[in-house]
Copies of this chain bind each other. A is one copy, B any other.
Amino acid sequence: MSAKILMSKLINQLIHSLTVLPGVGKKTAARMAYYLLEKEKHKGLNLSETLKTCIESIDHCRVCHNLTELPICELCSNTTRDPSTLCIVESPSDLISIEQTRFFKGYYFVLMGRLSPLDNITPKTLPIDLLLKRCQDSSINEIIIATNPTIEGEATAQYLIDLLKQNPQLKLSRLAHGIPMGGEIEYLDTQTIARAMELRTQFEEELI
């Protein structure tokens, strides 16, 4: 009798199902399964229900491509925001991080990824058609490309710049690069320091 048969077939199935979660291997999945079955049956049932409801009701917003249970998400339906700026981000988490600054008042477009040929993510995989449609909005003056400063993020930004600069009425911008606030020069990577040096701002300019 093998150890596999010894374990309840259902528990085995649950452990296998849990390994779909990113970063969860078989050992972690087993720990999770036993924890839910032994200690948190009620919360486990709640997780099962919420997961089902979410997967069945969540889809992309028709305007910004973010995930939402509404046809058009709350942010895109909010008419009090500034329609002249559109910020393109890679992920919903990036959107939330920017939104938490309370600095940006415009609208967003969420790519839900970045170009990465090694992972088979090409312009065809990303919602480029929807983005181009969104950029046709005549009230938009400026598009801020806020992809991450990683190799893939930079490549995506360059691709979008090439695509969007065909419309000369649109001002294209990127988030500034430099030393993070509160960061210590000693601990920063050379690329960041070099870039901060290259893009240095005059004292007068900053004080205005």
Please judge, given known A-B contacts A6-B99, A8-B73, A69-B8, whether A93 and B34 are in contact too, CB under 8 Å: yes
Residue of B nearest to A93 (CB): B30
- A9-53 toward B: CB 8 Å interface, digit per residue (1/0)? 111011001101111000010111111111011011111111111
Closest to A61 in B: B8
Contact B36 A28 (CB under 8 A): no
Cβ 8 A contact of A7, one of B8, B53, B92, B112:
B92
Determine if A74 is an interface residue (Cβ-Cβ < 8 Å): yes
A55 contacts the other chain (Cβ, under 8 Å)?
A: yes
Q: Which residues of A, 79-93, contact B by the 8 Å Cβ criterion?
A: 91-93
Judged by a CB distance under 8 angstroms, whether A67 is at the interface is: yes
Q: Does A54 contact B (CB under 8 A)?
A: yes
Checking B6, B40, B43, B75 against A74 with a beta-carbon cut-off of 8 angstroms, the contacting residue is B6
On chain B, the residues within 8 Å of A7 by CB distance are: 92, 96
Cβ of A68 within 8 Å of any chain B Cβ, yes or no, is yes
Enumerate chain B residues within 8 angstroms of A91, measured Cβ to Cβ. 34
Q: Report the separation of the CA atoms of residues A10 and B73 in the bound assembly, to the nearest whole angstrom.
A: 12
The chain B residue sitting closest to A59, CB to CB, is B37
5 interchain residue pairs of minimum CB distance: A48-B51, A20-B43, A17-B47, A48-B52, A17-B50
29 residue pairs from A and B, CB less than 8 Å apart? A3-B96, A6-B75, A8-B70, A8-B73, A9-B69, A10-B53, A11-B54, A11-B58, A13-B50, A14-B51, A17-B46, A18-B47, A20-B40, A20-B43, A20-B47, A21-B21, A21-B47, A22-B31, A23-B31, A36-B54, A37-B67, A45-B51, A45-B52, A45-B56, A47-B48, A48-B48, A48-B51, A48-B52, A49-B52
